[in-house]
């Protein structure tokens, strides 16, 4: 900035700064109208009848049970993704086989496929009409399956670039010093991948907690059994209890914010050597 300010005449400098400021102002205004104002309205609505009502709505047996189920299943799905996602990334980077490019491209499919289509198809494949005779419809296992589908890319896509950049000389050095394959993975590869795995897991967890479209058909939405929080919220809107919907939504919002903070911390950790 220093050199340019000298070169520009004073008037131009003032104009350009004003132009940049206006563009920035509009962009931040846009962000506020689209995101911040609705979020503020949500938080306000959840508290408009006092903290007591808010707490009552969150701890209502049906809402509380949905929250517990959502968090439990999301932890399970995120943890499972840590394993499968790392394994898939490993196979895609270190292994070679015909059709690898195709498999690599297919990983993005859950990002691109509308969630309701995913839900419909999983219900058809692993529901009452299953060609394999596996019926997971209206069961918690069905929810797990839908969530595994939609969260698949997160860990794979977080780990892949790190694995690609990982210096193999370190592994070779360890092997030449007599370390077994498992020791090499545990002592060399795993510590290097960990921040990326955790970022991917955190994103997968956030996605699992909020997921709606893929779950709504296969779960059957049975209260106390297969009703997750996002479906509960939609149900409360339909049965005209916006206060209940808003209270549970604020809990989900807080979880999302916490996950984002965590991801920021992982990013900080991963780049600590670059700074």
Site for another protein in 155-184 (CB under 8 A): 157, 160-161, 164, 181
- At its nearest, how many Å lie between another protein and the CB of residue 237? 6
Give the footprint of another protein on residues 11-30 (CB under 8 A): 12, 16, 19-20, 23-24, 26-28, 30
**Residue count (the chain):** 275
**Whole-angstrom Cα distance, residue 125 to residue 50?**
46
Binding mask 51-80 for another protein (x = CB under 8 A): ------------------------------
- At its nearest, how many Å lie between another protein and the CB of residue 5? 9
* Residue 189 near another protein by CB under 8 A: no
Cβ closest to another protein, residue 174 vs residue 251 = 251
- CA-angle at 206, arms to 203 and 209, nearest 5°: 150
Among 69, 77, 198, 206, binds another protein (CB under 8 A): 206
- At its nearest, how many Å lie between another protein and the CB of residue 23? 5
Among 14, 36, 79, 173, binds another protein (CB under 8 A): 36
- Which one of the spans 171-179, 186-194, 219-227, 250-258 is the region binding another protein (CB under 8 A)? 250-258
**Whole-angstrom Cα distance, residue 196 to residue 3?**
39
Binding mask 223-242 for another protein (x = CB under 8 A): ------xxx-xx--x----x
- Which one of the spans 51-59, 60-68, 143-151, 190-198 is the region binding another protein (CB under 8 A)? 143-151
Count CA within 13 A, CB hemisphere, residue 141: 6
- Which one of the spans 56-64, 113-121, 166-174, 192-200 is the region binding another protein (CB under 8 A)? 113-121
- At its nearest, how many Å lie between another protein and the CB of residue 173? 21
User: In this structure, are residues 158 and 203 in contact, taking their beta carbons and an 8 Å threshold?
Assistant: yes
- At its nearest, how many Å lie between another protein and the CB of residue 112? 4
* Residue 45 near another protein by CB under 8 A: yes
Among 14, 34, 173, 183, binds another protein (CB under 8 A): 34
Among 198, 210, 219, 266, binds another protein (CB under 8 A): 210
């Amino acid at each position: 900035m220093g050199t340019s300010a000298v070169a520009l005449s004073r008037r131009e400098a003032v104009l350009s700064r004003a132009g940049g400021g206006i563009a920035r102002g509009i962009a931040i205004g846009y962000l506020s109208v689209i995101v911040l104002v609705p979020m503020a309205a949500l938080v306000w609505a959840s508290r408009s009848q006092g903290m007591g009502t808010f707490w009552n709505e969150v701890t209502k047996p049906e809402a509380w049970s949905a929250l517990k189920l959502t968090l439990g299943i999301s932890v399970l799905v995120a943890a499972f993704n840590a394993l499968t996602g790392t394994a898939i990334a490993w196979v895609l980077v270190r292994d070679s086989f015909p059709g690898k490019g195709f498999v690599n491209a297919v990983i993005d499919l859950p990002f691109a496929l509308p969630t309701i289509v995913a839900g419909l198809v999983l219900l058809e494949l692993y529901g009452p009409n299953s060609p394999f005779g596996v019926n997971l419809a209206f069961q918690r296992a069905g929810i797990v399956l839908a969530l595994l589908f939609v969260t698949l890319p997160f860990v794979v896509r977080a780990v892949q670039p790190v694995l690609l950049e990982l210096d193999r000389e370190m592994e070779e050095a360890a092997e030449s010093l007599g370390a077994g394959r498992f020791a090499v993975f545990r002592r060399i590869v795993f510590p290097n991948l960990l921040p990326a795995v955790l970022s991917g897991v955190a994103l997968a967890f956030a996605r699992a907690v909020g997921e709606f479209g893929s779950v709504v058909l296969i779960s059957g939405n049975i209260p106390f059994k297969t009703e997750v929080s996002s479906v509960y919220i939609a149900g409360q809107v339909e049965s005209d209890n916006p206060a209940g919907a808003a209270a549970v939504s604020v809990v989900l919002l807080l979880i999302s914010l916490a996950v984002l903070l965590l991801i920021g911390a992982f990013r900080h950790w991963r780049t600590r050597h670059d700074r």
